[in-house]
Amino acid sequence: MTSFYGEHSKVWLSVDCIIFGFDEGKLKILIGRRQMDPGRGEWSLYGGFVRSDESVDDAANRVLFDLTGLRNLYMRQVGAFGNVDRDPGERVVSIAYYALINVKDYDDCLRQEYGLEWVNFDEVPTLYSDHNEMIQRARKMMRQKISNEPISFRLLPSLFTLTQLQKLYEAVSGEEVDKRNFRKRIKDMDFIEKTELIDKTGSKRGAFLYRFNKRAYKEDPTFKL
C-alpha cells in the first residue's frame, strides 16, 4: 500500500442494487429491512461496499449473486449518488445498479434468508437515505429502453401470453396501450414466436403461449414497440 494522496480525506464507496421483478401483472421491487447502523430496521435496497480488489461492476455482480443465486442477469448502472449528507454514518458515495429477474427463477429460500420482500412498485414505502430516488431513476431508464430493446423478456418466463407481455409493458411504461394495436405490432415481429402450447390458467378457452427468439432478434435488431 502506497502513501500517495495522504493529504486527502477518504470516502467510502458502495453499490446499491435495484432488483425488478414482474408478478401478477405488477412491477415489483425487492427490498428489506436494513441490518446495520445507521438506519437499522428501515426499509432499504440491498447493497454492499466495494472491495479493494474489485471493480464497481464486479461488486454489483457479487451482491446480486449473493442475493439471488442467479448469474448473467441483465444489469445496468443507474448512476452515482453522492450527496454529502446522504449517509449519516460516514461520507459514502454509492453507485446504483438495476437488474431484471424472473420472479419464478428466484429461490424463495434466499429471499427468506435475507428477510426480503417483493413490493409493488407503486406501493414502495419510504426507504433509507436516497434509495427512493435511485429506484425512480432506474424506472425512468427502463421506460426509455423497453420500446427499443427487448428487456421485457428478462422479467417474463420463457413461455408467456400476449396478455402478460402487454401488462408488463404497461407496468414499466406507466401507460395503457390499445390491445388491438399492441398485438398487431407484436405479431409483426419475427423474434416473438407463437407456439402450439396453450395456457388455460386464465380461462377454459386458454391463450396461446409465445417465446422470445434471441437468434432472430440478433439477425433483425430493428425492434421498436
Question: Tens of pLDDT along 108-165?
Answer: 899 999 999 999 999 999 999 999 999 999 999 999 988 788 888 999 999 999 999 9
CA 10 to each of CA 4, 21, 81, 91, 174: distance values in angstroms, whole numbers, following the listed order: 12, 36, 16, 8, 41
Does residue 224 surpass a pLDDT of 60?
no
What is the rounded CA–CA span in Å between residue 51 and residue 186? 44
What is the rounded CA–CA span in Å between residue 121 and residue 123? 5
Chain position carrying cell 426480503: 116
CA angle at residue 151 from 162 to 118, to 5 degrees? Answer: 85
| Helix or strand run (H / E) with residue 183 | helix 179-187
At a CB cut-off of 8 Å and minimum separation 6, what does 72 contact? none
Residue-wise pLDDT for 174-218, tens only, equals: 889 899 999 998 888 888 898 998 987 766 678 999 999 887 777
3-state secondary structure of 211: strand
Q: What is the pLDDT of residue 206?
A: 85
Q: What is the pLDDT of residue 128?
A: 96
First-to-last C-alpha distance (Å) of the chain: 52
Does residue 52 surpass a pLDDT of 90?
yes
Residue-wise pLDDT for 3-42, tens only, equals: 788 888 889 999 999 999 999 899 999 999 999 999 999 9
Say if residues 146 and 172 touch (Cβ distance below 8 Å): yes
**Confidence band for 223, pLDDT divided at 50, 70 and 90:** low
**Confidence band for 220, pLDDT divided at 50, 70 and 90:** low
